[in-house]
Amino acid sequence: MDMTLAKPAKAGAVQATVNYVAPSSERLRNFTFDPPDGGPRTNVAPDPREVTIHDIRPVADRFALDEHGFAILRHRSAARGYEDEADIRAIVYPEAARLLQVVTGAYRVHVFDHTLRRRVPGQDDRSGGQRQPVTRVHVDQTERSGPQRVQDLLPQEAEVLLGGRVQIINVWRPIRGPVLDAPLAVADARSIADADLVPADLIYPDRSGELYYARYNPAHRWFYLSAMQPDEVLLLKCYDSATDGRARFLPHTAFIDPSAPADAAPRESIELRALVFHRS
């Protein structure tokens, strides 16, 4: 399995705006549907900040999941495309599981869902069922919701599985490339303080989850991989039960690159989410 990326001659950086969350005296929440009381879907107020986002393509192999919270590698999928749900589950899910086992050394990987995103400028996320790139700094899981995912998805085995080390890792890749429109930025997990992460409720019609948003901190260090192609994969650690200093939560967000050409094709991507189990 070839996991190396081509290295261009030079690196660069862009100045771009990312949306943190503004301070609030209320518990933050997001509905994934129109609330029954007719209120707003969210009480989260953005705090946009201009940051430097470094292109890591020339040094991508220096980043590791346990140290930085993310990793980048090369992997070509055997899927013919991503229009057929059956193909995604029959081909792409097992591919992602094998990839994560190789990278992490886990004894078991359970890929539990995926999201296809196709950016439509001006359209809200989930409008008409279409998922848009998320333009707010967030982490998909929290200290509480990480173990809850194991209990919800594998209830008969949860007690045993939670006795070992558990990770939740996203496998993210473009559907078409190069990605110039709304690329994904990640914050080095080593630059994130616990106090920077703010829990928020994520409310579905049949259940509630929890995610983290992030408050602005000038210490955050931001990175992205320029012009990503479909055979390039970004691994994002969204939860790790280990508390020994390894990266546990990776804030990330889509951003608008002001240097992208005006006619850049709208970003299309797929992300898979997986429970990753270690014996200790």
* CATH number of the domain within which 244 lies: 2.60.120
Burial of 249 (0-12, 13-18, 19+ CB in 10 A): buried
- The letter for the amino acid at 64 is A
Q: CB 171: neighbour CB atoms within 10 A? A: 24
Nearest Cα residue to 119 out of 272, 257, 259: 257
* Whole-Å CA distances, 51 to 7, 185, 189, 195, 235: 24, 11, 16, 19, 22
Q: Please say if the pLDDT value at position 249 is more than 70.
A: yes
Number of independent structural domains in the chain = 1
Contacts of 236 (CB under 8 A, 6+ apart): 69, 70, 169, 170, 172, 186, 250, 252
- Count Cβ atoms below 10 Å from residue 76 Cβ, excluding itself: 13
Average pLDDT over residues 93-109: 97
Mean pLDDT (whole number) for 25-53: 92
The Cα-based distances of 40 to 6, 44, 126 in angstroms read 46, 10, 14
Count of other CB atoms within 10 angstroms of residue 228: 24
Q: Is residue 257 in a domain?
A: yes
Q: What is the mean pLDDT of residues 48-62?
A: 96
pLDDT score recorded for residue 56: 95
Is the CB of residue 106 less than 8 Å from the CB of residue 204? no
What does the pLDDT read at residue 250? 98
Q: Running DSSP on this structure, what letter comes out for residue 179?
A: B
For the whole model, what pTM was predicted?
Answer: 0.93
Lookup result for tokens 């012009």: 227
Residue span of the structural domain in which 213 resides: 60-277
In angstroms, the CA 270 to CA 99 distance is 16
Q: What is the mean predicted confidence (pLDDT) over 38-46?
A: 91
Residue with tokens 């992602």: 96
Residue 39 in any domain: the answer is no
Amino acid at 275: L
Is 134 among the domain residues? yes
pLDDT of res. 12: 86
Asked whether the predicted pLDDT for residue 52 surpasses 50, the reply is yes
Is a pLDDT exceeding 70 seen at residue 101? yes
| Encoded tokens for 134 | 């998320």
Q: How confident is the model at residue 4 (pLDDT cuts 50, 70, 90)?
A: low
What is the rounded distance in angstroms from the CA atom of residue 193 to the CA atom of residue 219?
Answer: 9
Question: Is 40 a domain residue?
Answer: no
- 47 belongs to a structural domain: no
On whether residue 116 sits in a domain, the answer given is yes
Per-residue model confidence (pLDDT) at position 9: 42
pLDDT at 205: 87
Q: What is d(CA 268, CA 176) in angstroms, rounded to the nearest whole number?
A: 6
Question: What mean pLDDT is predicted for residues 30-41?
Answer: 87
Residue 239, domain member (yes or no): yes
Is residue 257 scored above 60 in pLDDT?
A: yes
Q: CB burial class (10 A; 0-12, 13-18, 19+) of residue 117?
A: buried
Residue 148: pLDDT band (50, 70, 90) is very high
Q: Indicate whether 23 belongs to any domain.
A: no
